[in-house]
Each structure stands twice: as structure tokens, then as C-alpha cells.
Structure 1
Amino acid sequence: MSDVITIDVGLVEDERQLHELLGRELDFPSFYGRNWDAFWDAVTGLVEIPSHLRFIGWARLLENVPRGAAMLASQLDRYRREYRPDLRVEFDGPASSDT
């Protein structure tokens, strides 16, 4: 897996689409449950997360899917704290937890 993954979240209109995009871009298994508990399970045990994630279209995601944006940022912050202090996450706009 590449060291940097760029994910364009600017066209996402709901959490279902956000989970589909994350599953595709992060190579989650086909049985991924498309919810935040399943996201946590995937990143902590099913796939290898690259050392650098870059999200573009973040401001649009905050407008269109504020809960999903907040949950994604929160989950990635938790993952970094608990498993990967070297993880770099970039948002191209304001985020509740810019890292």
C-alpha cells in the first residue's frame, strides 16, 4: 500500500456514500459493515492503513455530512492515539481535529 492515500470526500452526500468511499479507497474487505464500529474494526485489524491520509473536499463533507465528518476525524484521532502515533492525517479545510 502506498505511503500516502488521497481521498476526495467532496461529492459525498450521506454516511452510506462516505462508508462506501472509505471502504473502496482503504481496501476494506467486501464484508465491511459500513458503520463506525465496522470502520474501527477494519482499521484496527483488517487492513493496513498508510502512514499518511489526505482528505480533499473536506469543507463540502462538513456541510453535507457533518456527523460523518466528525466521526471520521474522531475515529482517526483515536486510531493515531492508540495504535499509530506516526499517522499523518490532512484535511484540506477546517476539521474538528486537524492533525
Structure 2
Amino acid sequence: MITIDVGEVTDERLLHQLLMREFGFPGFYGMNWAAFWDAITGLVDIPEHVRFLSWDQLVAGVPRGAAMLRHALDDYQAKHCPEFIAEYA
């Protein structure tokens, strides 16, 4: 399991930078949601359990980014890894 604190994220660019660092995406990561999907489904192995801290702050400050991240991870669980768990605390 990894824990990612998203409380300091103020825009989608910073969110992608944080996700890139925490998940170990390659340097050519495209910093968009299509690239995020490609990364989690083929470029890197993400942990089976991810906990996001300060989720409410992300939802308030970067609502589209929070929604896109959650949607991508829900799809990842449904289509690729049923045992995957994402916590939004």
C-alpha cells in the first residue's frame, strides 16, 4: 500500500506531477488523463492498495482532476485489477 497526500495540489498539472512521482511513471509521461490510463494499464505496476489523504481538499480545489482520477481508478479496478483498492480519506 502507498499513501499519497493530495492536500497541497492546487491544479491538475501538480496532480499529474504528484502521481508521476508516487507511481514511478517514466519521464515521458504525458501529464494528462489518457496518459495516466496508459501508464497504469501498461507502463508501471501500481500497488494493489492506494490511500489518498486530504481527498476533500482535492475535490474542493481541483474538482475535475479529482473526478478524473477517481473515474480512472474505478475503471482500472473494473477492467484490469478487481483486487485493487483505492481509499479516499
TM-score by length of 2: 0.99
RMSD (CA atoms)? 0.3
Task: Determine which of 72, 81, 86 is the counterpart of 1:84.
Answer: 81
Q: Where does structure 2 lack aligned partners over 5 or more consecutive residues? A: none
- 1:48 paired with 2:58, answer no
Percent of pairs with identical residues: 58
- 1:7 paired with 2:17, answer no
In 2, the alpha carbon distance for the partners of 1:88 and 1:45 equals 18
1:16 match: 13
Q: Work out which structure has the larger RCO, using CA pairs closer than 8 Å and 6 or more positions apart in sequence.
A: 2
Task: Determine which of 47, 60, 63 is the counterpart of 1:63.
Answer: 60
Task: Determine which of 29, 35, 57 is the counterpart of 1:32.
Answer: 29
TM-score by length of 1: 0.89
Task: Determine which of 71, 75, 83 is the counterpart of 2:72.
Answer: 75
In 2, the alpha carbon distance for the partners of 1:88 and 1:43 equals 14
